[in-house]
């Protein structure tokens, strides 16, 4: 890439959502630059599930095949770098990267995903995506009927108990301190034979991300093969909020049904816009964004040619 080039579209983030948009845009003869810093949220997971044709395939393999197919379109370029600034210009946007590259584009798509914030519990981060799981639809089948824990409290804990008892009847709820649950909720977990352990957790015992037990601050231990948790998240890329894109209460970039953000010319797709985190939905959001951006550019070009 030349030091300062102009593109129809800058795609920030080149995982499933970004690559999917780039494919739609490449097939629409658009000059596209994908800049990707290479840190997708599922990078620690050995196998990705629940995406047609790629069930059980390592996540990086899905992305590598997608990139290979996208780069068959000659008007699409790819950079391994991180976008650090995006600013609005007269007609479009200019951007810079961590490695000092500069570029401009008519439209920007943020397909930047989210960052999961790991609890401080030693061992948890190592297990994330391997034996500490976020979603039964992605991984529940593989660990069905195993000795499973839920690390949660309050409403979330109650919801997860109701959901996960479908995949295993060997469930224990760990609240890491006093359980904030109503009498009714306690009665329901009791009726489902889900014990509630309120002891404070010291660490997850694990090897290479495979959990074997939870150790508590009182020195006691409980054997475990799988742990589900809902961890907090933040936007992986702060730029959309910095340039004025409205965010939802939950912390996602607000988009309309065409993946258009609230700042003119800015689009977003994938995990950064939705709580439904799956590869298939990220791909779907990217496809919609790619088509919507192309349509907007066509309208702009037609107005330039015909004045209408
Ligand atoms: C542990 C775990 C396991 C999962 N397992 C499954 C599964 O089995 N099946 C399934 O369907 N889904 C699974 N998911 C969900 C799935 O991984 C996500 O829905 C999907 O990765 C979202 O794709 P995305 O493109 O929106 O974001 P991501 O895949 O997170 O990619 C975002 C990309 O943007 C890049 N980026 C961010 N900021 C910048 C910047 N400023 N400049 C350049 N690049 C930037 C990042 O480096 C990253 O490459 C899992 C998620 C987790 C956390």
* CB of 133 sitting under 6 A from ligand 1: no
Q: Are residues 206 and 163 in the same domain?
A: yes
Alpha-carbon distance 147 to 171, whole Å? Answer: 6
Check whether 308 has a pLDDT greater than 80.
no
pTM for the whole structure: 0.96
pLDDT at 179: 97
Residue 246 Cα to ligand 1 midpoint, Å, equals 21
Protein residue closest via CA to atom 41 of ligand 1: 83
| In a shared domain, residues 81 and 171 | no
**pLDDT bucket at 305, cuts 50 / 70 / 90:** confident
Predicted local confidence at residue 19, as pLDDT: 98
Identify the residue whose C-alpha is closest to ligand 1 atom 35. 13
Same domain, 18 and 31: yes
Give the model's pLDDT for residue 1: 60
- Which residues, 6+ apart, have CB-to-CB distance to 105 below 8 Å? 6, 7, 8, 9, 10, 33, 92, 93, 95
Same domain, 191 and 249: no
pLDDT tens digits, 123-152: 999 999 999 999 999 999 999 999 999 999
| Distances in whole angstroms, Cα of residue 276 to Cα of each of 4, 76, 158, 195 | 37, 28, 19, 29
- Do residues 37 and 90 both lie within one domain? yes
Residue 192 Cα to ligand 1 middle (Å) = 34
DSSP, res 251: S
Give the phi and the psi of residue 299 in degrees, each rounded to 5: -60, -45
Beta bridge partners of 35: 12, 79
Q: Rounded distance, CA 144 to CA 262, Å?
A: 42
Residue 240 near ligand 1, beta carbon < 6 Å:
no
With the CA atoms of 103, 105, 108 and 114 taken in that order, what torsion angle do they form, in degrees rounded to the nearest 10? -10
Q: How many domains does the chain have?
A: 2
- Residue with CA closest to ligand 1 atom 12: 278
User: Are the CB atoms for 297 and 7 separated by under 8 Å?
Assistant: no
Q: Which domain covers residue 244, as residue numbers?
A: 4-116+232-306
Residue nearest to atom 26 of ligand 1 (CA): 270
Return the pLDDT at 269: 99
- Whether 94 and 106 share a structural domain: yes
Provide the mean pLDDT of the chain.
96
| pLDDT tens digits for range 234-281 | 999 999 999 999 999 999 999 999 999 999 999 999 999 999 999 999
pLDDT tens digits, residue range 28-54?
999 999 999 999 999 999 999 999 999
pLDDT in tens, 207-237: 999 999 999 999 999 999 999 999 999 999 9
CA dist 6 → 10, 82, 92, 106 (Å): 9, 17, 10, 8
């Amino acid at each position: 890439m030349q030091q300062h080039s102009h593109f129809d579209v800058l795609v920030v983030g080149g995982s499933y959502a970004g690559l999917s948009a780039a494919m739609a845009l490449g097939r629409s003869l658009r000059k596209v630059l994908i800049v990707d810093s290479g840190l997708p949220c599922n990078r620690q997971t050995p196998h990705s599930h629940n995406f047609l044709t790629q069930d059980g395939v390592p996540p990086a393999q899905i992305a590598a095949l997608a990139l290979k197919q996208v780069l068959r379109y000659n008007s699409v370029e790819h950079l391994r770098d991180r976008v650090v600034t995006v600013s609005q210009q007269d007609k479009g946007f200019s951007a810079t990267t961590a490695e000092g590259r500069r570029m401009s584009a008519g439209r920007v798509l943020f397909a930047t995903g989210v960052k999961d914030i790991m609890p401080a519990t030693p061992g948890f981060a190592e297990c994330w995506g391997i034996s500490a799981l976020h979603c039964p639809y992605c991984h529940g089948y593989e660990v069905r009927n195993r000795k499973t824990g839920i690390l949660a409290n309050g409403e979330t804990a109650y919801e997860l108990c109701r959901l996960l008892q479908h995949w295993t009847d060997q469930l224990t709820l760990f609240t890491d301190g006093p359980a904030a649950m109503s009498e009714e909720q306690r009665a329901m977990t009791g009726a489902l034979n889900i014990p509630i352990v309120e002891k404070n957790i010291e660490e997850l015992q694990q090897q290479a991300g495979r959990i074997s037990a939870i150790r508590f601050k009182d020195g006691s231990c409980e054997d475990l093969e799988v742990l589900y948790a809902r961890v907090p998240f933040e936007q992986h890329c702060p730029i959309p909020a910095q340039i004025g894109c409205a965010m939802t209460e939950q912390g996602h970039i607000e988009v309309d049904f065409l993946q258009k953000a609230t700042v003119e010319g800015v689009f977003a797709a994938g995990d950064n816009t939705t709580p439904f985190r799956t590869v298939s939905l990220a791909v779907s959001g990217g496809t919609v964004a790619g088509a919507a951006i192309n349509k907007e550019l066509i309208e702009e070009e037609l107005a330039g040619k015909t004045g209408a």
